[in-house]
Chains A and B, each alone.
Chain A
Amino acid sequence: MSKELSVYLEGVGLLGPGLPGWPAATPLLATPATYARALLDIPSPDCLPPAERRRVGAQVKIALTVGREAVAQSQRDAGTLTNVFSASSGDGDNSHAICEALARPDRFISPTRFHNAVHNAAAGYWGIAMKCMAPSTSLCAHDGSFAAGLLEAAVQACSAQTAVLLVASDTPYPEPLNSARPLGCSFGVGLVVAAQRSERAIARLRLSLTSATPSVLPEAALESLRTDAPAARALPLLQWLAGGAALPASVHLQYLDGCTLTVELENIRGRGA
């Protein structure tokens, strides 16, 4: 058995197909029969200077949107918050464009495409947008990327006795890469977790590594969403937060073979508030 980490959730951001932000998504997750998949409207990141805003792709836009939503709810200062960015890959459109260019005789790559191809592009733009010089990491664990990110955020919060922003976001590749790595949708989740309980705490999360089978969602539409993007593996946690009836107080989030992130959940104040 693994040791347990305890953190307090202070803010949630969400953007997924049919889930346009946490307040709008809460009743849909709480009453799944009302959820209907819809095209994702990705907002333009007005927090970035205009030159940068024009250059960023969908993954960065989603990451900035959910990060800001989570931080706003937590009432923390985005400019000083340690942050963890989790994504199973870098921006898919960018990666595709570079590989296409390299397959042509002249092999000309746009410099902007190249620096936007780094896995930590979203974190880099977040730092610029929020003028945040705090430690930042960008990581992945394939389909277990959300759990890897939440684990790292909790570890950072506990080891430094501070608050940490987690931003998990994924976007599908265009073809032909999408056939080799099929993701069904774009998805983004932002969470602010803190080591100490404050008046802003929504829930207490106690994390441990177990060999439990990952939780699935009983409703087909949400379960299919959960497996469509690595960041959507957060849905069992989000659905509990949304306050649906008769849901268990622990969820098992997919991480790696033989290693699941189990989260024991304790309500602190009105879930979904």
Chain B
Amino acid sequence: MNLLLSNYTATSCLGVGLDATWQALQAQRSGLKPCDFETVTLNTHIGEVPGLDAVTLPSSLRVFDCRNNRLALLALQQDGFAQAVQQAAQQYGAGRIGIFLGTSTSGMLQTELAYRARAGGQGPLPAWFDYDGTQSTYSVAAFVRQYFELDGPAVVVSTACSSSSKVFANAQRMMACGLIDAAIVGGVDSLCLTTLYGFHSLQLLSERPCAPYDASRNGISIGEAAAFALLTRAPAQLPAGAVLLRGVGESSDAHHMSSPHPQGLGAQLAMRAALQAAGLAAAQIDYVNLHGTATPSNDAAEDKAVCEVLGTSTPCSSTKGHTGHTLGAAGGLEAVICALALRHQTLPGGCHTDAIDPQLHAAYLRTNRSAPLKNVLSNSFGFGGSNSCLILGLV
């Protein structure tokens, strides 16, 4: 079943909303900067969304106040997204719209601050701490559901860095079963100390802006983002430039908690499943937005998978040099970037890649290219060996 992305939006360090995002992609401008987040003292780069401290939640939703839900609110107020949801709620009914959002750390920053506020590192958490509205992995979906006054099904998928790619599959399945008529999908993940110091502990943070596919790549840059799409059934007559969700493929590595399968076997399964779901042959994919985190092992494993499934001539790039790795929001953000690529018939070249690693064989793009684009594929892989692949396309 083809679903229509009837509205979509994204906010990241590239900017707030689609226009700012596209301008940055068009200019191949990275939003990464040396890390000055909170009290963090790591030698790394981050992709921060400016101005989140000034975002105010509606007073009736104050229990949800944290960086993650502020980012969600800022994003869903762009590009007419909120109006599109309200219109869908009127058309289909508040109980017929599902919410499927991905996050990895939710409002964890709030908990980190609460622990730091304990007197002498002991005793209870401060009274201002609200677990359900902030740290709870579900909080962003609860916030969005209350914000739009919806009463249909809602869920947060949390499969690390594949979370907000996989939500497209949840929504598609539930619509196919007839339980809902429209779905809010997407992902929200915000900067916090757990991920910065956690990836540092795994020695996976680069000290310079991440350089996917570069011969000297040495790790990720962490970013934050919120991306949303409103999915509806595709009508018989589609507006010009309408972007469709053609297929989703999912798989598990069954290999290791934090390292990819070296041959990218799980990634291959997910890509093949997505092609099958979309009813497309490998040759019909015009561009691949890679997971492309810029760690040596991730890019190497993904390259093997892409070359095995699609060959070595399909143009591909990672946009994590622009945005940083936005973790649980990456799948959603990169789906929106793919939709923009289709809309503008432009393949985004990657940032910061000076010399492509000769060990990697996929057709990596270092500059933007105008080309007829019909079907694009986006990979997202996460800890726990969780793989997801989306295919979006024009009619």
Q: Which residues of A are in contact with B by a Cβ distance under 8 Å?
A: 2-3, 5, 52, 88-90, 95, 98-104, 107-111, 114-121, 123-125, 127-128, 130-142, 145, 148, 151-152, 155-156, 158-159, 175-177, 179-181, 209, 211, 255-259
A-chain residues with CB within 8 Å of residue B77 when the two chains form the complex: none
B-chain residues with CB within 8 Å of residue A130 when the two chains form the complex: 254
A-chain residues with CB within 8 Å of residue B152 when the two chains form the complex: 209, 259
B83 at the interface (CB under 8 A from A): no
B293 at the interface (CB under 8 A from A): no
A99 vs B114: C-alpha distance in the bound complex, in angstroms?
9
**Secondary structure call for the B interface:** mixed
* CB-nearest residue of chain A to B192: A102
Q: List 21 A-B contacts (CB under 8 A).
A: A3-B179, A98-B198, A103-B118, A107-B197, A109-B201, A115-B202, A118-B159, A120-B384, A124-B252, A128-B255, A135-B169, A135-B273, A136-B250, A138-B386, A139-B156, A152-B155, A175-B124, A176-B118, A176-B123, A209-B152, A258-B151
B-chain residues with CB within 8 Å of residue A117 when the two chains form the complex: 194, 198
A179 vs B352: C-alpha distance in the bound complex, in angstroms?
46
**Secondary structure call for the A interface:** mixed
Known: A120-B383, A209-B179. A138 touches B202 (CB 8 A): no
B111 at the interface (CB under 8 A from A): yes
A54 vs B254: C-alpha distance in the bound complex, in angstroms?
18
Contact B115 A103 (CB under 8 A): yes
Q: Which residues of B are in contact with A by a Cβ distance under 8 Å?
A: 95, 104, 111-112, 114-116, 118, 121, 123-125, 129-132, 135-138, 141-142, 145, 151-160, 166, 169-170, 173-174, 176-179, 193-194, 197-202, 250-258, 265-266, 269, 273, 382-386
Cβ-neighbour of B154 out of A103, A114, A256 (below 8 A): A256
A98 vs B283: C-alpha distance in the bound complex, in angstroms?
46
A104 vs B269: C-alpha distance in the bound complex, in angstroms?
42
* CB-nearest residue of chain A to B125: A176
Known: A5-B179, A209-B95. A135 touches B251 (CB 8 A): yes
A148 vs B152: C-alpha distance in the bound complex, in angstroms?
12
A-chain residues with CB within 8 Å of residue B115 when the two chains form the complex: 99-100, 102-103, 176
B-chain residues with CB within 8 Å of residue A128 when the two chains form the complex: 254-257, 385
Q: How many A-B residue pairs have CB under 8 A?
A: 215
B240 to chain A minimum Cβ distance, whole angstroms, is 30
* CB-nearest residue of chain A to B254: A127
B-chain residues with CB within 8 Å of residue A88 when the two chains form the complex: 136-138
B-chain residues with CB within 8 Å of residue A256 when the two chains form the complex: 145, 151, 153-154
A136 vs B170: C-alpha distance in the bound complex, in angstroms?
11
A50 to chain B minimum Cβ distance, whole angstroms, is 15
Known: A104-B121, A118-B104, A118-B160. A137 touches B384 (CB 8 A): no
A6 to chain B minimum Cβ distance, whole angstroms, is 11
For the complex of A and B, the 5 pairs showing the least CB-CB separation, nearest first, are: A124-B384, A119-B158, A114-B198, A258-B151, A135-B250
B-chain residues with CB within 8 Å of residue A109 when the two chains form the complex: 194, 197-198, 200-201
A119 vs B382: C-alpha distance in the bound complex, in angstroms?
11
For B193, B202, B253, B257, the residue with the greatest tally of chain A CB atoms inside 10 Å of its CB is: B257
Contact A139 B125 (CB under 8 A): no
B-chain residues with CB within 8 Å of residue A110 when the two chains form the complex: 201
Contact B198 A127 (CB under 8 A): no
Known: A3-B177, A102-B193. A127 touches B111 (CB 8 A): no
Q: 17 other contacts beyond A3-B177, A124-B384, with CB at 8 A cut-off?
A: A3-B179, A99-B114, A102-B116, A103-B116, A109-B197, A114-B199, A118-B160, A133-B265, A135-B252, A145-B138, A158-B177, A159-B176, A176-B118, A255-B153, A256-B145, A256-B153, A259-B152
Contact A134 B251 (CB under 8 A): yes
Contact B137 A124 (CB under 8 A): no
Contact B137 A133 (CB under 8 A): no
B-chain residues with CB within 8 Å of residue A139 when the two chains form the complex: 155-158, 170
A-chain residues with CB within 8 Å of residue B155 when the two chains form the complex: 139-141, 148, 152
Contact A138 B138 (CB under 8 A): no
Contact A259 B198 (CB under 8 A): no
A156 vs B250: C-alpha distance in the bound complex, in angstroms?
12
A149 vs B137: C-alpha distance in the bound complex, in angstroms?
14
B107 to chain A minimum Cβ distance, whole angstroms, is 12
* CB-nearest residue of chain B to A181: B131
Cβ-neighbour of B170 out of A137, A158, A175 (below 8 A): A137
Contact B112 A102 (CB under 8 A): yes
A76 vs B243: C-alpha distance in the bound complex, in angstroms?
39
A131 vs B136: C-alpha distance in the bound complex, in angstroms?
30
Cβ-neighbour of B121 out of A103, A111, A155 (below 8 A): A103
Known: A115-B257, A132-B254. A181 touches B266 (CB 8 A): no
Contact B202 A136 (CB under 8 A): no
* CB-nearest residue of chain A to B104: A118
A-chain residues with CB within 8 Å of residue B118 when the two chains form the complex: 103, 176
